[in-house]
Structure 1
Amino acid sequence: MGQTSGHQERSEKPEVAPSKVMEAEIEVQNKKEETKEVKAKNQKLISVFGLADLKNEAIGLYNLGQSCCLNSLLQVFLMNIHFTRILRRITVPPSPAQRRSNVPYQMLLLLEKMQSGKCKAVGPTELACCLSEHRVELFVQHDAAQLFLTLWNLLKKQMKKPELVKELRDLYTICIQEHVACQKCSFEVKSKSTMLTLPLPVLDANSHRLKTLEDCLQYFFHPEELTGQNMCFCQQCGRKTPFLQSMKLVHLPQTLTLHLKRFCFERSSRTHKLSHSLPFPQELDLRQVLAESQCQADDNEKATWHYELFAVVAHSGSASCGHYCAYIRSLTDCKWYCFNDSEVCQVSWDDVKCTYGRSNLYWRETAYLLFYMKKHPQQPWPGLSGCL
């Protein structure tokens, strides 16, 4: 009995001890692999936008009741990698009440919800409630250009880190120089200002249709004579005189936003939608579009004015009743997607071109906001540090 028992003890030790060692080694190895996997995943999340890029699926947003305009703009913001890199570095508000009313924080939560979920669409309910606290009405039709400005101002106001506010300005703001010159003497006033979008007319002063986006840009920067009732007071002449008003482009941001002024007021005070065809290019080089007299920038600045179309916010329907959707080109797979609230699908460039517009078909999708992104981004321009 004793020999048998002793033999059993000696035989168990070589079997049990290596098993524990092996389990410990496997556990350590698994932890190392998990750590590497988590680090790799986090690094990928920092550099690309969420589930849409990680799983080749685009995540939609449920319509909460006429929230198509908000949904389209949110998709444009959150699919912009340069914007999400800023958003990820915001300061988290300390109290629950502050977090509920903080637009950047609620937008970040929505981004994380879109990235971590397995659903085809998520609801932006918390963000919509947050916006309502800032007088952004729910369940009403919004104008995309106005709502874009409202969202941007709230983001800028509530980002507490000055360096992030500056990055946000550098990412979106356009710098121009305004010139007003008396036609009777040499008196001239110059002033610099910034804009979030370039509001481009689609008709000229004689109500003639402008044929291309390039025509709209050239017309926007074309000098305008201020005569008759529009004359200005000249300090040098001491009376009202004809003036020449013009704008010159000084600096363009990494993401350039163009607002096609498709809605106009008629004499009856009713808003009318202009749906005629207006082609826009996939690539836009402002150096080839604007004349030398329409620019106030050096060669280094102009060298960065080569853009590629990133997104289109399109409107269908009439001025009083309509629907918004967004066409966005993924920055990772370079494919176009249509974001129509909760429905998202891959589309072609020919599908995007359908938003050029067509006369007398007001219900068709018509491009309203165009977002272009620099092909060769440069360092943030120091001249914007004091703007806006």
Structure 2
Amino acid sequence: MGQTSGHQERSKKPEVAPSEVMEAEIEVQNNKEETKEVKAKNQKLTSVFGLADLKNEAIGLYNLGQSCCLNSLLQVFLMNIHFTRILRRITVPSSPAQRRSNVPYQMLLLLEKMQCGKRKAVGPTELACCLSEHRVELFVQHDAAQLFLTLWNLLKKQMKKPELVKELRDLYMICIQEHVACQKCSFEVKSKSTMLTLPLPVLDANSHRLKTLEDCLQYFFHPEELTGQNMCFCQQCGRKTTFLQSMKLVHLPQTLTLHLKRFCFERSSRTHKLSHSLPFPQELDLRQVLTESQCQADDSEKATWQYELFAVVAHSGSASCGHYCAYIRSLTDCKWYCFNDSEVCQVSWDDVKCTYGRSNLYWRETAYLLFYMKKHPQQPQPGVSECL
């Protein structure tokens, strides 16, 4: 097809086979339809996510193959009204390739899929493929604390609007001040830093079990003496001396994330899970837990340190294999739900308390990440954002 016959003069224009013409026309038409679809979807996002904050429905996520950890964390993000209010104001990437690799946008589309229709569960396939482009492995068992940090960093990095990045930091980032003081002289170093989670040990230095979440918090902020191999060089003394290291709490975000360090390394370099019981409260007042010496904040800041439990990411199984699920309190109906991949059901507080742990049941569910929400949010104070 497309060839001349006899002595007919060849056209100076390059010939194109009819099939190629048809394919080109089809491609142009598809591009037009894709452009219309994208524009329509982008226009729809504003209206859909204006209502998403009010619906806040419990929709499951299908397991794509060891994606229970990702599913649990996505549910915690997307059930947080304060987070979705930030998410629905992102800048939509201009090109299809940019949209495919943009984590905030793909998370936004997943939320749209969860909010539209009456499906009991949806698949996070596009978001998972997007994460794989950022070297987040699929079909492997993840650590929830590490994956939470990875997701948060990708969200912060790809949100182009500075005001949204600031809101995201205000929503999750913790500010602390570290003090390191020489015990031989008056030399002292102070430095501020931020943390996404407070990594709370569940054992003390002598491997004794800490009994409650409040004990873990107090132990985390308890001063530690740096001796022996841990001694530091003192500029004033001119040699290594014993130092006292302590941390003081400066600022707490609206969503406070506590990481219970239930996985520890044994001498054999094997990771071991600590499953003993560790109760945590529904209401947490940091003013009642920490002492004055453990805080570096004024009264107006500390007045907002009253929290209610919002979500629990729990792990069942051993350190080498297991399963994650999330218990989340809806911010609209104040009821607790268990998100176990595609299965979602309403539960009671007694069901949530079952994640306290129990030593004699090795495979029992144990809380791993705790998310607390401020009862009385406060507007950012001047100077606070500098340390964030």
**Aligning the two structures, in what range does the TM-score lie when normalised by the shorter sequence?**
0.7 to 0.9
How big is the shift at 1:17? 58
Quick check: 2:53–2:81 contact (8 Å CA) kept in 1? no
Quick check: 2:2–2:16 contact (8 Å CA) kept in 1? no
In 1: Cα distance, 2:98 partner to 2:4 partner: 73
Which SS does the other structure have where 1:215 is aligned? Answer: helix
How big is the shift at 1:334? 0.2
Which SS does the other structure have where 1:169 is aligned? Answer: helix
Quick check: 1:48–1:81 contact (8 Å CA) kept in 2? no
Q: 1:185 to 1:48 in 2, by over 3 A?
A: farther
Question: Which stretch has the larger CA shift, 295-304 or 356-365?
Answer: 356-365
How big is the shift at 1:180? 0.2
TM-score, reference length from structure 2: 0.86
Which SS does the other structure have where 1:346 is aligned? Answer: strand
Question: Which stretch has the larger CA shift, 372-381 or 300-309?
Answer: 372-381
TM-score, reference length from structure 1: 0.86
In 1: Cα distance, 2:84 partner to 2:372 partner: 17
Across the aligned residues of Structure 1 and Structure 2, the Cα RMSD in angstroms comes to 11.6
Quick check: 2:307–2:374 contact (8 Å CA) kept in 1? yes
CA offsets per residue over residues 126-158 of structure 1, 9 Å max, x none?
000000000000000000000000000000000
In 1: Cα distance, 2:3 partner to 2:155 partner: 81
Quick check: 1:316–1:366 contact (8 Å CA) kept in 2? yes
Quick check: 2:56–2:81 contact (8 Å CA) kept in 1? no
How big is the shift at 1:360? 3.0
Residue matched to 1:266: 266
Question: Which stretch has the larger CA shift, 327-336 or 378-387?
Answer: 378-387
How big is the shift at 1:362? 2.1
Residue matched to 1:356: 356
Which SS does the other structure have where 1:10 is aligned? Answer: coil
How big is the shift at 1:29? 37
CA offsets per residue over residues 56-80 of structure 1, 9 Å max, x none?
8520000000000000000000000
Runs of 4 or more above 3 Å deviation: 1-57, 381-388
Residue matched to 1:224: 224
Matched, 1:35 2:26: no
Quick check: 1:203–1:210 contact (8 Å CA) kept in 2? yes
In 2: Cα distance, 1:54 partner to 1:225 partner: 50
Quick check: 2:53–2:84 contact (8 Å CA) kept in 1? no
Q: 1:90 to 1:5 in 2, by over 3 A?
A: closer
| Structure 1 unaligned spans of 5+ | none
Which SS does the other structure have where 2:326 is aligned? Answer: strand
How big is the shift at 1:292? 0.4
Q: How does 1:306-345 map to 2 (within 5 A)?
A: 306-345=306-345
Residue matched to 2:123: 123
- Larger gyration radius, structure 1 or structure 2: 1
Q: 1:335 to 1:19 in 2, by over 3 A?
A: farther
Question: Which stretch has the larger CA shift, 7-16 or 371-380?
Answer: 7-16
Which SS does the other structure have where 1:325 is aligned? Answer: strand
Q: 1:51 to 1:58 in 2, by over 3 A?
A: farther
CA offsets per residue over residues 210-248 of structure 1, 9 Å max, x none?
000000000000000000111000000000000000000
In 1: Cα distance, 2:326 partner to 2:333 partner: 17
Quick check: 1:314–1:326 contact (8 Å CA) kept in 2? yes
In 2: Cα distance, 1:209 partner to 1:80 partner: 32
In 1: Cα distance, 2:231 partner to 2:8 partner: 110
Question: Which stretch has the larger CA shift, 28-37 or 263-272?
Answer: 28-37
Q: 1:355 to 1:106 in 2, by over 3 A?
A: same
Q: 1:4 to 1:329 in 2, by over 3 A?
A: same
Q: 1:361 to 1:35 in 2, by over 3 A?
A: same
| Structure 2 unaligned spans of 5+ | none
Q: 1:255 to 1:192 in 2, by over 3 A?
A: same
In 2: Cα distance, 1:202 partner to 1:113 partner: 39
Residue matched to 2:207: 207
CA offsets per residue over residues 266-295 of structure 1, 9 Å max, x none?
000000000000000000000000000000
Count of matched residue positions in the alignment of Structure 1 and Structure 2: 388
Residue matched to 2:188: 188
Which SS does the other structure have where 1:6 is aligned? Answer: coil
Question: Which stretch has the larger CA shift, 38-47 or 205-214?
Answer: 38-47
Q: 1:82 to 1:148 in 2, by over 3 A?
A: same
Percent identity, aligned pairs only?
96
How big is the shift at 1:118? 1.7
In 1: Cα distance, 2:328 partner to 2:341 partner: 13
